[in-house]
């Protein structure tokens, strides 16, 4: 998958790994309307036809900021209708990211505030540079998190911690995010993207249909009662039994070799 955008770069690292980079470094990769449209197109393409892509790494350009959130200079002077129309685009790109069938790993190369942190929360998980700081600053601007922040953050760090973070709107460090279970790994600043790509390659080496079904089972199962979630899991599991990859995995195990999965 290779597309050209004005606010982000999407490039294959190898046959199965896509590196997506928010690319507005002159404004700390702040999200304007066009970036919302570009991200929506990127995720929509992966939902409709991921092709050979088995994992995505999402990062920001530069070495200071992943994403500063919404572009407040563009928003300055917007009417209520214009603001809401723009936010509708943002909402759709976040929701489509959630629907992406392949794993999306965030690589926070720098600070992530407001909507920037919400993008990372919508990823399957994320790594962070040890110099990165995070915040949901919306209440300091007269609004509130509106792209999943009030839902994903409590699920990651617990209700009480999330309330403190959101009500104060103050930044916190990568190490704190690690302790609270928000970030999976803290990396050296010049290694965070490489570490995320290494993890993506490990994921891509496994059976792609199995990864997609497991992701779907986790994602939807968390919204169900336990018994319903277990039944949903078995439905997802049974779809793997007749796959070529399941036969290849068992065959490779018995032949003591590395399996060659084809996503069939």
DSSP assignment of the chain equals: --EE-SSEEEEESSSSEEEEEE--GGGTT-B-HHHHHHHHHHHHHHHH--TT--EEEEEESSSSEEE-SB-HHHHTT--HHHHHHHHHHHHHHHHHHHH-SS-EEEEE-SEEETHHHHHHHHSSEEEEETT-EEE--GGGGT----SSHHHHHHHHH-HHHHHHHHHH---EEHHHHHHTTS-SEEE-TTTHHHHHHHHHHHHHTS-HHHHHHHHHHHHHHTTS-HHHHHHHHHHHHHHHHTSHHHHHHHHHHHTTS-------
Distance CA 62, CA 195 (A): 17
Q: Read off the pLDDT of residues 108-120 as tens digits, 9 standing for 90 and up.
A: 999 999 999 999 9
- Is residue 171 within 8 Å of 226, Cβ to Cβ? no
pLDDT confidence of residue 123: 97
When the pLDDT of each residue in the chain is averaged and rounded to a whole number, the result is 93
Assign domain 208-254 to a CATH class. mainly alpha
Told to judge if 81 belongs to the known catalytic residues of this protein, a careful annotator would answer no
Choose, from 11, 74, 81, 118, the residue flagged as catalytic.
Answer: 118
Tell me the whole-structure pTM to 2 decimals: 0.91
Q: Read off the pLDDT of residues 190-205 as tens digits, 9 standing for 90 and up.
A: 999 999 999 999 999 9
Choose, from 26, 74, 138, 255, the residue flagged as catalytic.
Answer: 138
Assigned CATH topology for domain 3-204: 2-enoyl-CoA Hydratase; Chain A, domain 1 (3.90.226)
- Is residue 102 within 8 Å of 46, Cβ to Cβ? yes
- Taking alpha carbons only, the member of 167, 171, 72, 195 closest to residue 117 is 171
Per domain, the residue ranges of the chain are 3-204, 208-254
- In this predicted model, which residue has the larger pLDDT, 260 or 103? 103
Q: Read off the pLDDT of residues 57-102 as tens digits, 9 standing for 90 and up.
A: 999 999 899 999 888 788 888 788 888 888 889 889 999 999 999 9
What does the radius of gyration of the chain's CA atoms come to, in whole angstroms?
19
The arithmetic mean of pLDDT across residues 9-28, rounded, is 95
Distance CA 264, CA 245 (A): 6
Q: Read off the pLDDT of residues 224-241 as tens digits, 9 standing for 90 and up.
A: 999 999 999 999 989 888
The CA-based angle 191-5-80, given to 5 degrees, is: 105
Which residue matches tokens 């509106």? 146
The arithmetic mean of pLDDT across residues 154-183, rounded, is 96
Q: Read off the pLDDT of residues 127-143 as tens digits, 9 standing for 90 and up.
A: 999 999 999 999 999 98
């Amino acid at each position: 998958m290779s597309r050209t955008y004005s606010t982000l770069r999407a490039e294959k690292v190898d046959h199965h790994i896509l590196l997506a980079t928010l690319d507005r470094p002159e404004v700390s990769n702040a999200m304007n309307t066009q970036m919302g449209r570009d991200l929506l197109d990127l995720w929509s393409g992966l939902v409709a036809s991921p092709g050979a892509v088995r994992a995505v790494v999402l990062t920001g350009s530069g070495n200071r900021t992943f994403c500063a959130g919404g572009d407040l200079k563009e928003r300055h002077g917007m009417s209520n209708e214009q603001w809401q129309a723009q936010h509708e685009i943002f909402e759709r790109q976040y929701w489509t990211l959630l629907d992406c069938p392949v794993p999306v790993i965030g690589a926070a190369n720098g600070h992530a505030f407001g909507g920037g942190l919400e993008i990372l929360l919508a990823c399957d998980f994320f790594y962070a540079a040890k110099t990165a700081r995070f915040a949901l600053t919306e209440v300091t601007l007269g609004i509130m998190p509106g792209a999943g922040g009030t839902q994903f953050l409590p699920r990651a760090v617990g209700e009480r911690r999330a309330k403190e973070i959101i009500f104060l709107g103050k930044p916190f460090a990568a190490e704190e995010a690690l302790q609270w279970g928000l970030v999976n790994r803290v990396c050296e600043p010049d290694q965070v993207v490489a570490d995320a790509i290494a993890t993506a390659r490990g994921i891509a080496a496994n059976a792609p249909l199995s990864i997609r079904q497991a992701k779907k089972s986790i994602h939807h199962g968390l919204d169900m009662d336990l018994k319903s979630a277990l039944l949903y899991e078995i439905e997802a599991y049974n779809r793997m039994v007749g796959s070529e990859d399941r036969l290849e995995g068992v065959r490779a195990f018995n032949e003591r070799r590395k399996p060659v999965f084809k996503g069939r």
